[in-house]
Structure 1
Amino acid sequence: MWIERLRRQPLVVRAIWAVLAFAFAAALIEARWSLAFVSVATFALSLVPVLAQRRLGIRLPVRFFGWIVVFVFATIFLGEAFDFYNRFWWWDVVLHGGSAMAFGLIGFLFVFMLFQGDRYAAPAWAVAFMSFSFAITIGALWEIFEFAMDQVFGLNMQKTGLVDTMWDLIVDTLGAGLGATAGFFYLKGRELGGLTAALREFVAANRRLFRRRPGRRRGP
């Protein structure tokens, strides 16, 4: 059963899980306990979407699941265990932009679900703006979290302080704008790379979430 489920996962997900298993085994042999812990933690977090979709009653398309696993791997395993944040100055920028774009897509799906999948319930630009606002809010809350951790526990999550925070917010804005634009293009029936395709896949896999509820009608 588990082997069959493993075969159904995207190639990139199976490759990442294999790397994590190898890193965990090597860490145990070399008594590198921190690497072993990070490997297990990364694998556990990569399984959260599987558990969440069962709990919430949603279905994650292969593309969505693959993106999530890659992001977790890049953030926790490569970023922390192998110090990619300090090795490559652009690593944090790419991850911030990617997460903001993802939250833009999630914000669009959430707003679209509230409108029960009705493309004409609100202007496309208004839905895109709400998606953009959702993603920016998440980014701002994360910066507040980093500031709180630095102040309370003496960490260095903000690195260069104000400069790091402002660049993070700028990248968040660009990523959120791209995610919201993908939602706008989706409503207009146009393409924007693989982003609009991902939205279509999610809506198709979760039709019941985007259906008008019986007994509800528009107007007074």
Structure 2
Amino acid sequence: MFHKTKGKKPPTPAEIRQRVRRRMTLRGVLAFFVVLTMIRAAFMHRFENIFVCVLALILLALPSIIEKQLAIDIPPLMEGIIYCFIYAAEILGEINSFYTIIPGWDTMLHTINGFLVAAVGFCLVDLFNRSERFTFRLSPLFLALVAFCFSMTVGVLWEFFEFTCDQVMHTDMQKDYVVHEINSVSLNPDGLNTPIHVPIESVIVNDEDWTEELGGYLDIGLIDTMKDLQVNCIGAIAFSVIGFFYVKHRGKGKVAAAFIPVVLNEPGAEKENDKEKQ
């Protein structure tokens, strides 16, 4: 059975002005710290950090641009999380090295990213689903599936980006892991591959003994990539389930409502409001 999500009522002009003040305050504070970081990077001649700061400023401006272009209102909670996520990933994570200083920082951000991107994918399809210009209506299960697939696709594209940066720009976005044991295969006398377990007891690099320094085989990104995709998957599943029940019960879920934009001046909205007044 197919459902049409009724959604939330568009905010009043007073509510919009109040939200704009709050978001401008948060975005302004974060942008101020980004500019300070960029000035510090300029004095230190860290031009790659200047690029990251410029990218962060552009990303901080995107939600407002998207709202104006699509005539939607992004809920304050979602917009605030997006701003904080951008600052935590680009400034704290990349420039201030939180990815290496704080254990689990990368895992936390990738989990949140999976959740947020699933919310964005859900919103994009839900906007079409609620529009009067389209005749088709998608089921809640299909909406949740699209949100999940959208989130995982973005996650994979991001890993492509990290790999490309590491190969071309010689960065270390795909963090290394020290592996103390590996599993491989060995060709037995019968010509068949036999699984073998190999504990790593010594590490020789360029004829030098690195056993004490490394303690094992240095993985160059595979474990980090798979871990990032796994936690991205967890975040994507979490919101897909929330979004499914939100649409299933015609927009009554409070959690999903905090992440789903409201269409401003939606066709038919005035008629619904007139019926409610009567």
State TM-score, norm by structure 2. 0.61
User: CA–CA distance in 2 between the matches of 1:5 and 1:191?
Assistant: 24
User: CA–CA distance in 1 between the matches of 2:257 and 2:140?
Assistant: 14
Q: Which residue of 1 aligns with 2:243?
A: 183
Contact 2:152 2:236 in 1 (8 A): yes
Structure with greater contact order relative to length (CA < 8 Å, sep ≥ 6): 2
The 3-state SS of whatever aligns with 2:73 is: coil
Contact 2:56 2:90 in 1 (8 A): yes
Q: Which residue of 1 aligns with 2:151?
A: 135
Which of 203, 222, 230 is matched with 1:170 structurally?
230
User: CA–CA distance in 2 between the matches of 1:163 and 1:169?
Assistant: 10
Unaligned runs of at least 5 residues, structure 1: 212-220
User: CA–CA distance in 1 between the matches of 2:246 and 2:170?
Assistant: 44
**Cα deviation digits, residues 180-212 of structure 1 (max 9, x gap):** 11211211237666333332xx13x4462898x
User: CA–CA distance in 2 between the matches of 1:192 and 1:152?
Assistant: 45
Structure 1 residues 39 and 143, CA gap change in structure 2 (3 angstroms)? closer
Q: Which residue of 1 aligns with 2:259?
A: 198
Structure 1 residues 207 and 128, CA gap change in structure 2 (3 angstroms)? farther
Which of 83, 91, 101 is matched with 1:69 structurally?
83
Contact 1:185 1:196 in 2 (8 A): no
User: CA–CA distance in 1 between the matches of 2:43 and 2:60?
Assistant: 24
The 3-state SS of whatever aligns with 2:130 is: coil
Unaligned runs of at least 5 residues, structure 2: 1-16, 177-220, 270-278
User: CA–CA distance in 1 between the matches of 2:111 and 2:267?
Assistant: 28
Q: CA deviation at 1:92?
A: 0.8
Q: Which residue of 2 aligns with 1:217?
A: none
Q: How many residues align?
A: 202
Q: Which residue of 1 aligns with 2:266?
A: 208
User: CA–CA distance in 1 between the matches of 2:54 and 2:166?
Assistant: 26
CA-based RMSD of the aligned residues comes to 3.3
Which of 31, 44, 49 is matched with 2:43 structurally?
31
Structure 1, 38-47 or 58-67: larger mean CA deviation: 38-47
Q: CA deviation at 1:165?
A: 0.8
Say which one has the larger Rg.
2
Structure 1 residues 142 and 19, CA gap change in structure 2 (3 angstroms)? closer
The 3-state SS of whatever aligns with 2:43 is: coil
Q: CA deviation at 1:78?
A: 0.8
Q: Which residue of 2 aligns with 1:144?
A: 160
Q: CA deviation at 1:173?
A: 0.4
Q: Larger helix proportion, structure 1 or 2?
A: 1
**Cα deviation digits, residues 63-87 of structure 1 (max 9, x gap):** 2321221111111111122111111
Q: Larger strand proportion, structure 1 or 2?
A: 2
> What percentage of aligned pairs have identical amino acids?
29
Counterparts of residues 42-191 of structure 1 (less than 5 Å)? 42-116=56-130, 121-160=137-176, 161-189=221-249
Q: CA deviation at 1:142?
A: 1.4
Q: CA deviation at 1:15?
A: 3.9
Q: Which residue identity lines up with residue 86 of structure 2 in the other structure?
A: V
Q: Which residue identity lines up with residue 163 of structure 1 in the other structure?
A: I
Structure 1, 143-152 or 37-46: larger mean CA deviation: 37-46
Contact 1:105 1:182 in 2 (8 A): no
The 3-state SS of whatever aligns with 1:198 is: coil
Structure 1 residues 158 and 184, CA gap change in structure 2 (3 angstroms)? same
